[in-house]
Structure 1
Amino acid sequence: MLKFTSTQSEDHKKAQNISLKNFLNKIIGNRFSLPQDVVEYNKKRAFVEQYVQTTIRPLLPNPSILESTTVGVGYFQGLKFGELLNLQAGIVQKLFGVYEVELTDELKTLEARKYDWIINIGAAEGLYSMAFSNIWKNIPVYSFEQDFCTRQLLKQMIKLNETPNVITLGEFNLSDVSGLAKKGKGLIFSDCEGYEKVLFSSETANCFENHDLVVETHDHLVQGSHQGVADSLSKSHSVKNIDQLTLQPRCERVADEQFRKLDVDTQCKLLDESRHIKNSWIIALS
């Protein structure tokens, strides 16, 4: 069990209370009806499939790309989606190789580094877990995703891409890091929707001092998240800040000739993930 260097912050206590509340609500709800997780999964699946067919497909210069089952270009080249393709967030960005392209160069520099394990916090459907698994083939990639619906996609992606070293787990706890810390150097990749301010605070920084981190920050969800994480990690790491590209510069990164022939407005509509906020990332190397 992790021992904090000082009294737990109010943010950390609040996060624990929220987690407990959600857990209790889920248990109570599931006692009297179809499990809410299953209901939500079916709703999300239906919504995304409809969005792809009615909004995305008509804009594509070559709609047959949606029948593709494998990413052809970019950092995630070779990743197989199969029948899960139409359930992906940012589907067009992924197929054209520009999904979170801001990180590509930084992630490629990490490939020369040796790790004994990888933790992916907020793994979603496993995009990064699959990529890491193919780069570091002989180490475990612990993939934490607490949302039931998304975790089912993650499990299917693991099977489809034949990545047995990707291990699916639910909610992440700090004790997971403290246990692995004794087993060599790790890479920690985090996208946990604002919880990063609690997770990578001055009180917990000692758990991460010997490991490399890539942390997506969400100031729109938790004020001061980015600066708080950067300040905490800069005491033990070399820290680099990366900002999210706007749509037009992202469009310019697409190499597909048919895509390039489209007018700028259509290009932007295709790549728009409806992220009407600007996320940032922190690369922290030990």
Structure 2
Amino acid sequence: MRVAPKLTLELLSARSQKFIIERERSTGRLAASQKFVAEHGRTVLAGPFAGMVYPEATAQERNLIHRLTGSYESELHPWIEEIAASDYGMLLDIGTADGFYAVGFARLMPDTRVIGFDTDRWARQATQNLVDLNETHNVDVESMCDPAWINRNVTPNSLIFSDCEGYEAVLFDLDLCPILRECDMVIELHERPAPGVEQLLRGRFKDTHDCRLVTYMDHDPALFPQLASVEESMRELVISEGRGGPQNVIFLTRKTV
């Protein structure tokens, strides 16, 4: 990550996308999603991003049921609402995947400049397609975000939303990016590629930011009534996020004097 971050992230992203696509096809999730879309459409039905519409191309390639029903990373919903009610002038989404957060936030925050980054070509195209369909003209799609880019371009009172496969250990460094002192950050933590990253980041920001934490867990299908149209044996599978266990996310907010 430190020696060749762009190449490393491109390889990790491409491998991850290939694995997810193959797994969704082989487990029947993609077929279940296509059936769900045929019945309910491609509009997000619940959660803070309700009303966002997915392109047909993405619906044909990926399982969207967890996005459309509002189950996807629902632990973050209170934070999303808090962010949307704030006056951030810039929001970075680092690791956009299909554009769910970049476009979702852009719809809720039309006066905020949103910049989505992903090193995977499929993800950038999917994000751009989502941007175009939802006419969120305040979104730009870029490839690589590094400390130099942040220090050169990010303005005070920005929000950084990050899911970057362990690169967070390199990216969120106050010595390299002093502007981070004036930003808030939601960071998904990847302990496998970056062992000890949670404690590392807590230590770096203990003097400048307060830290909150949530943990992603498997969800109960009964909490999402739209799943009633999905075959019962598939309901838990189609909203599974495939993490292999609990995963932590931290919200770093600037300390007030």
TM over 0.5: yes
- Report the equivalent of 2:228: 258
Query: Contact conserved, 1:205 with 1:233, CA < 8 A, in 2?
Result: no
RMSD after superposition: 3.2
Structure-2-length-normalised TM-score: 0.84
Identify the match of residue 169 of structure 2 among 189, 197, 201.
Answer: 197
Q: Which moved more, 1:229-238 or 1:163-172?
A: 229-238
Aligned amino acid, residue 258 of structure 1: A
From the superposition, tell whether residues 55 and 237 of structure 1 become closer, same or farther in structure 2 (CA, over 3 Å): same
DSSP 3-state at the match of 2:46 = coil
Query: Contact conserved, 2:72 with 2:241, CA < 8 A, in 1?
Result: no
1:113 aligns with 2:86: yes
Q: Structure 1: how far apart are the matches of 2:227 and 2:112?
A: 38
From the superposition, tell whether residues 254 and 225 of structure 1 become closer, same or farther in structure 2 (CA, over 3 Å): same
Report runs of 4+ in structure 1 exceeding 4 Å deviation: 20-23, 57-60
Identify the match of residue 242 of structure 1 among 184, 191, 214.
Answer: 214
From the superposition, tell whether residues 79 and 135 of structure 1 become closer, same or farther in structure 2 (CA, over 3 Å): same
Query: Contact conserved, 2:188 with 2:249, CA < 8 A, in 1?
Result: yes
Cα distance, 1:19 vs structure 2: 3.3
Instruction: Please show how residues 51-66 of structure 1 align to structure 2 within 5 Å.
Output: 51-52=24-25, 55-56=28-29, 63-66=35-38
From the superposition, tell whether residues 115 and 223 of structure 1 become closer, same or farther in structure 2 (CA, over 3 Å): same
- Report the equivalent of 2:59: 85
1:282 aligns with 2:255: no
Cα distance, 1:22 vs structure 2: 5.6
From the superposition, tell whether residues 20 and 58 of structure 1 become closer, same or farther in structure 2 (CA, over 3 Å): closer
DSSP 3-state at the match of 1:103 = helix
Cα distance, 1:49 vs structure 2: 8.4
Query: Contact conserved, 2:44 with 2:52, CA < 8 A, in 1?
Result: yes
Cα distance, 1:218 vs structure 2: 0.6
Gaps of 5+ in 1: 1-14, 27-36
- Report the equivalent of 1:19: 5
Identify the match of residue 241 of structure 2 among 252, 262, 273.
Answer: 273
Q: Which structure is larger by alpha-carbon Rg, 1 or 2?
A: 1
From the superposition, tell whether residues 95 and 257 of structure 1 become closer, same or farther in structure 2 (CA, over 3 Å): closer
Give the total of aligned pairs: 250
Aligned amino acid, residue 235 of structure 2: Q
DSSP 3-state at the match of 1:17 = coil
Gaps of 5+ in 2: none
